[in-house]
C-alpha cells in the first residue's frame, strides 16, 4: 500500500520523534509513505493572520505538487498543517476566481483532486482494521487524549468527529489496551504558536491541561500535534515555574503509543527525544 505524506516543517525538525513513530508504524503495517517532492512550508501558524493570498498560495503549491506527482491521497500528521491544507482546499473549491488567482501566483495548475487525511483518520482506516495479532504488549495505561484546537476544527470544513467532544483518538487508545479517561480539556487551547513570543500565556494554558490530566489520574497525555507536544513537553519547566508545581506527566504521540503496543522499541518511536522523561515502555 502506498500513500503520500506531507511532513511539514515540524516533523523534519522539532518533532523528529513524531516523524520516526509515523514511519515506523507505517513500516510495521506494510504501508509505503511517499513524501511530497519539493514541499514547502504551509504557512502555519501565522500566514493566515498576515496575508490571505499568501496563506492560500503556500498550501496550494504543496497540493499542486502532489497532484503533479500522482499522489491521490496525502497523510498530514501535523494538525496545524492539516488545517491549513484542508481549509485551502475548501476556500478554493467554493471560489473558482480565487483559485485562478492563486494558480497565477504559484505558477502551477492546482486542481483540488488530492484527498487529505489527518493522522487519526489514517490510523482509523489503515492501522486499526489490521491490529489483530499485532499487539504484543497492550498499552495498559490511563490516558488523557488531547486533540487540541485544530484536529477537528473548523468542524464545518473538516466534517470529522465532534468539535467539542471528539472520540476517535479515545477509541483508538482503547483498541490497544489503554483506558481513555474522561477529559474535558481535550480541545482546550495549549497556547498554540505563542510558544516563543508569549511563553507566559503558553504556561498558563498548557498548565491547565496538564493539571486536569494529573487530577484525573492519567499516566500520560496522548497528542497528535507537534505544536501541542512542544508546548506541553518542551515548555514544562516554564509551566512548572508558573504553576509553582512539579508536573512530571509525560506527553506521547498517539503513533508512539500504538508503536509500543505492537512491539516497537522506545527508540524506534523516538521516545528518547522528549524533554519530559517517558517511563512507559
* Domain positions in the chain: 2-120, 135-273
Complete DSSP assignment for 217-239: T-SEEEE--HHHHIIIIITHHHH
| pLDDT tens-place string over residues 3-47 | 999 999 998 888 899 999 999 999 999 999 999 999 999 987 666
What is the chain's Cα-based Rg? 18
Each residue of 46-71: b (16+ CB within 10 Å) or e?
Answer: ebbeeeeeebbbbbbbbbbbbbeeeb
pLDDT at residue 129 above 80?
yes
Which of 7-11, 73-77, 110-114 has the weakest average pLDDT?
7-11
CATH 1.20.1050.140 fits 2-120, yes or no: yes
pTM score: 0.94
Q: How confident is the model at residue 60 (pLDDT cuts 50, 70, 90)?
A: very high
What residues contact 133, with CB distance under 8 A and at least 6 apart? none
Among candidates 64, 68, 70, 72, which has minimal Cα distance to 89?
Answer: 64
Helix (H) / strand (E) element for 252: namely: strand 251-253
Which of 3.40.50.10470, 3.40.190.10, 3.40.50.11810, 3.40.50.720 would CATH assign to domain 135-273? Answer: 3.40.50.11810
pLDDT at residue 159 above 90?
no
Amino acid at each position: 500500500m502506498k500513500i503520500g505524506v506531507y511532513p511539514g516543517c515540524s516533523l523534519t525538525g522539532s518533532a523528529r520523534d513524531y516523524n520516526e513513530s509515523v514511519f515506523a508504524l507505517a513500516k510495521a503495517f506494510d504501508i509505503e509513505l511517499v513524501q511530497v517532492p519539493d514541499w514547502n512550508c504551509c504557512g502555519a501558524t501565522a500566514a493566515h493572520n498576515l496575508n490571505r493570498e499568501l496563506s492560500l498560495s503556500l498550501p496550494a503549491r504543496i497540493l499542486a505538487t502532489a497532484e503533479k506527482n500522482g499522489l491521490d491521497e496525502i497523510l498530514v500528521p501535523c494538525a496545524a498543517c492539516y488545517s491549513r491544507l484542508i481549509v485551502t482546499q475548501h476556500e478554493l473549491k467554493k471560489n473558482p476566481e480565487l483559485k485562478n488567482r492563486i494558480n497565477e501566483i504559484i505558477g502551477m495548475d492546482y486542481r483540488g483532486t488530492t484527498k487529505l487525511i489527518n493522522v487519526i483518520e489514517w490510523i482509523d482506516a489503515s492501522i486499526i482494521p489490521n491490529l489483530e495479532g499485532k499487539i504484543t504488549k497492550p498499552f495498559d495505561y490511563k490516558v488523557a487524549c488531547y486533540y487540541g484546537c485544530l484536529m477537528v476544527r473548523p468542524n464545518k470544513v473538516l466534517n470529522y468527529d465532534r468539535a467539542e467532544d471528539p472520540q476517535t483518538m479515545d477509541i483508538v487508545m482503547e483498541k490497544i489496551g489503554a483506558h481513555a479517561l474522561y477529559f474535558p480539556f481535550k480541545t482546550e487551547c495549549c497556547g498554540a504558536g505563542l510558544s516563543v513570543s508569549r511563553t507566559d500565556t503558553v504556561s498558563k494554558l498548557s498548565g491547565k491541561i496538564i493539571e486536569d490530566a494529573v487530577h484525573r489520574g492519567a499516566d500520560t497525555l496522548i497528542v497528535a500535534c507537534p505544536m501541542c507536544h512542544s508546548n506541553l513537553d518542551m515548555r514544562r519547566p516554564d509551566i512548572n515555574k508558573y504553576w509553582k508545581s512539579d508536573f512530571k506527566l509525560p506527553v506521547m504521540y498517539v503513533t508512539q503509543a500504538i508503536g509500543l503496543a505492537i512491539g516497537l522499541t522506545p527508540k524506534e518511536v523516538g521516545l528518547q527525544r522528549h524533554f519530559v522523561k517517558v517511563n512507559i515502555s
